[in-house]
Structure 1
Amino acid sequence: MEYRRLGKSGLQLSALSLGSWLTFGNQISDQVADELMGVAYDAGVNFFDNAEGYAEGKSEEVMGRILKSHGWERESYVVSSKVFFGTENKGPNRVGLSRKHVIEACNAALKRLQVDYLDLYFCHRPDKNTPIEETVFAMNTLLQQGKILYWGTSEWSATEIMEAISIAKQYHLIGPTMEQPQYNLLERTKLEKDYQLLFKEHGLGTTIWSPLASGLLSGKYTAGAVKDTRLDLKGMEWLKESVLAEENLKKAQQLQGLADELGVPLAKLSLAWCLTNPNVSTVILGASKTEQLKENLTAIEVVPMLTPEVLTKIEDIMQTKPVLPQF
């Protein structure tokens, strides 16, 4: 396993990590979740990603029981939670990024995950109803209390992240260390264009999600079949429509042809492509089967195959590279 620093911080994350969105406490059994975490840990994965909103808190409960049962040394792994969407019981002060919810959600996540502190704590979305200043102060309080070690954002705009950094500097607080954006061959604008100044001037780290575009770039959807996949889950209709657009399917089929030429699975090619971006600290994998995870955990081996010539072929197929401003 390769390890990368989380931006300019000293924290090292495995280049490939394991997330629990849509799977733990929902799509898969607790036994399979246990097997997946064991496979990942044995392969050198040291980061496990979670959130209060995943399966309305059940995902964290499942992961917490697994961490406790394995008895891994706490220093050997990094675990995260995210605050914004709340758990099962919604209502005033139970969602969003108010000081009250940020702190109460952290305490609740610690109980569900059965840990004394969270290594990473993310603001899962920007909250238009809470001043960013309030959220920054709340995160700093948790840092001082030792309940979290680093905090960051997920799917925030570059402007919002810059405001958080500016507020932290103004009041001599600790600002965000990382952002968790979607990043794959179809979704590239934030990481390759919008965040460039944040990487250059502030050393922002990234823990990217959906590297396979919800499975489209794994090759499983090129035939149009989604039965028994995450896109077939109840409530995922919105994602299904955007991912399985005709244009996307066509690109995935062409990319499959290139993967076949190289003699590698499409999933590993797509994951390796994400790893070639130096601003990617870790690629979060999702999995519902152990064999699937074992295969994807070897994606690092494909990176040397992505020569300038191969990367050009990928760009010619995808046509998704964002246009950078001319200075």
Structure 2
Amino acid sequence: MKKKKFGSSALETDPLIFGGNVFGWTLNEKESFKILDELFEKGYHTIDTADVYSRWAEGNNGGESETIIGKWMKDKGVRDQISLHTKVGSDMGQGAKDISKSYILKAVEDSLKRLKTDYIDLYYTHWDDDKTPVEETLEAYQKLIKEGKVRHIGASNLSPSRLQDSLNAAKNSDLPKYEVFQQQYNLVERNDFEGDIKNICNENGVGVATYFSLASGFLTGKYRKEEDFEGKQRKDFVKKYLNRKGLEILDALDQISANHNVSNAGVALAWVINRPGVTAPIASATKSSHIKAFDEAISLDLSEDEMNKLNEVSK
């Protein structure tokens, strides 16, 4: 599988990143191991998670996803073959988001313990707390990089101004630079990335990973009427897309997927892969058929007319 580089950094990624938010949520440990085994055998070795995954599930406290990944890597002896991405800053029970230096230095130790490793390939600022000076956050990462506990840093969900301030601080104060930015981006949610964030990343050589690349499963086509998501754990994520625009996008995906004999998910992911400024989409899977869509997306050659059709219907 051909690797891609994040922006101007030395960090490489698979053309599609596996999202570990399902571990400990919609998949238990045994099911998670099965999916991880299949992904690894197929050559998908880039895994994205966060300390807060899957805290929202009943009975969970956070860290469940990291714990499952850590156990799997240790059992398989494959840590050195995995590009491991995780995040810090979400509310893990402290009552608020926190990207202060003291909090990051404590939280990283918890993540390393759960992941059963002594280093993280890519460590993200998950959310902004809107109060910590950007220099303080970057100083924490500088210490972790010098100690070898973190190799590269990224950010997610920052405002354009805070992202730019962070990049300026890195340049002007000899601090580590965010090399990757993670943002929601898919056929039904384009505005968060297109515009200022995209321009800032392009101008500063920052790679881009997209989350919710399948709009929480809506773009697979399995949610077309209200009864389709009743009782589903993703109901609150997908019901807002069940409107005229969403259905028109699904219709376009139906047509293009039929032309290529692939899944709607494969087409939707291929669209993200081929969008300007995107390094790699993040997507999750809970069964083998979902992983098949990853293979389809990587190999699918969408025509200019097909890309234009998807661009137009998703405006």
- Taking structure 2 as the reference length, the TM-score comes to 0.91
Counterpart of 2:47 in 1: which secondary structure? Answer: strand
How far residue 110 of structure 1 moved from its aligned partner, in angstroms, is 0.2
Residue in structure 1 matched with residue 99 of structure 2 by the alignment: 97
Deviation at 1:250, TM superposition (A): 3.8
Shift of 1:310: 1.3
Give the distance between the partners of 1:273 and 1:229, measured in 2 at CA. 26
User: Any idea what the Cα deviations from partners look like across 1:55-94, whole Å, max 9, x if unmatched?
Assistant: 111111111111111111x33211111111143x3347xx
Counterpart-to-counterpart distance in 2, 1:295 and 1:197: 30
Alpha carbon RMSD of aligned pairs, Å?
1.9
Indicate which of 68, 72, 79 corresponds to 2:84.
Answer: 79
Contact 1:52 1:86 in 2 (8 A): no
After superposition, the Cα gap between the structure-2 partners of 1:42 and 1:67, relative to the gap in structure 1 and judged at 3 Å, is same
Q: 1:296 aligns to what?
A: 294
2:88–2:104 CA contact under 8 A, matched in 1: yes
Return closer, same or farther for 1:46/1:182 CA change in 2, 3 Å cut-off.
same
Amino acid at match of 1:39: E
The answer to whether the Cα contact below 8 Å between 2:217 and 2:238 also exists between their aligned partners in 1 is no
CA distance in 1, matches of 2:289, 2:43: 16
Identical aligned residues as a percent: 29
Q: Structure 2 CA distance, aligned partners of 1:182 and 1:91?
A: 24
Give 1:256's aligned amino acid: D
Structure 1 stretch displaced more, 128-137 or 258-267: 258-267
Structure 2 match to 1:57: 63
| Alignment-derived partner of residue 325 in structure 1 | none
- For 1:224-303, what aligned pairs fall within 5 Å after superposition? 224=226, 225-227=228-230, 229-232=232-235, 237=236, 239-302=237-300
Q: Size of the alignment, in residue pairs?
A: 307
> Helix, strand or coil: the match of 1:80?
strand
Match of 1:218? 220
Q: For residue 314 of structure 1, what is the aligned residue in structure 2?
A: 310
The Cα shift of 1:247 comes to: 3.2
Unaligned runs of 5+ in 2: 55-61
Q: What CA deviation, in whole Å up to 9, does each residue of 1:180-200 have, x standing for no partner?
A: 111111222343322343233
| Aligned with residue 148 of structure 2, among 146, 149, 165 | 146
Residues 16 and 297 of structure 1 are in contact (CA less than 8 Å); yes or no, is this contact kept in structure 2?
Answer: no
Give how far 1:155 is off.
1.2
Runs of 4+ in structure 1 deviating by more than 6 angstroms, as ranges, are: none
1:229 Cα offset (Å): 4.2
Q: Which amino acid aligns with 1:3?
A: K
Equivalent position of 1:323 in the other structure: none
The 1:245–1:124 alpha-carbon spacing in structure 2 relative to 1, beyond 3 Å, is farther
Alignment match, 1:324: none
Q: Aligned AA for 1:217?
A: L
Distance across 1 between alignment mates of 2:242 and 2:138? 38
Tell me the amino acid that sits aligned with residue 166 of structure 2. A
